[in-house]
Amino acid sequence: MAAVLRVSRYTPDADARGERYEEFDVDTGPETTVLDALVDIQRTADSTLAFRYACRVGMCGSCAMVINGRERWACRTRIASLKGATVTVRPLYHFPLIRDLVVDMTPFRARMATVGAALTRTPDAPEYAIVSRESAERREIDEAIECIGCGMCVSACTMVARNERFPGPAALNRAFTLQRDHRDADTDARWSVLLSDDALARCHGQGNCTDVCPMELAPPTSILRLRRMATRRLLGIG
Contact criterion met (CB below 8 Å) for 19 and 97: yes
Amino acid in the structure at residue 162: R
Q: Least separation, in Å, of the C-beta of 137 and ligand SF4?
A: 20
What CA–CA distances, in Å, run from 203 to 10, 133, 211? 32, 30, 15
Q: What does the alpha-carbon distance between residue 116 and residue 105 come to, in Å, rounded to a whole number?
A: 17
Q: Figure out which of the listed residues 28, 33, 77, 173 binds ligand SF4, where binding follows CB under 6 A.
A: 173
The site that binds ligand SF4 (CB under 6 A) totals a number of residues, namely 16
Question: Footprint of ligand SF4 on residues 212-231 (CB under 6 A)?
Answer: 213-215, 217, 219
Q: Which helix (H) or strand (E) covers residue 169, if one does? A: helix 169-179
Stretch that binds ligand SF4, among 6-14, 77-85, 99-107, 168-176 (CB under 6 A): 168-176
Select 97 or 217, whichever has its Cβ closest to ligand SF4.
217
Contact between 148 and ligand SF4 per CB under 6 A: yes
Q: Does 116 bind ligand SF4 (CB under 6 A)?
A: no
Tell me whether residue 26 or residue 178 sits nearer to ligand SF4 (CB atom): 178
Cβ of residue 212: shortest distance to ligand SF4, in angstroms? 6
Interacting span for ligand SF4 (CB under 6 A) from 16-24, 78-86, 134-142, 143-151? 143-151
77, 70 Cβ separation under 8 angstroms: no
Do the beta carbons of residue 190 and residue 178 sit within 8 Å? yes
- R_g over Cα of the chain: 20
> Quick one: which of 59, 167, 46 has its CA closest to 101?
46
Q: What residues line the site for ligand SF4 (CB under 6 A)? A: 61, 147-153, 169-170, 173, 213-215, 217, 219
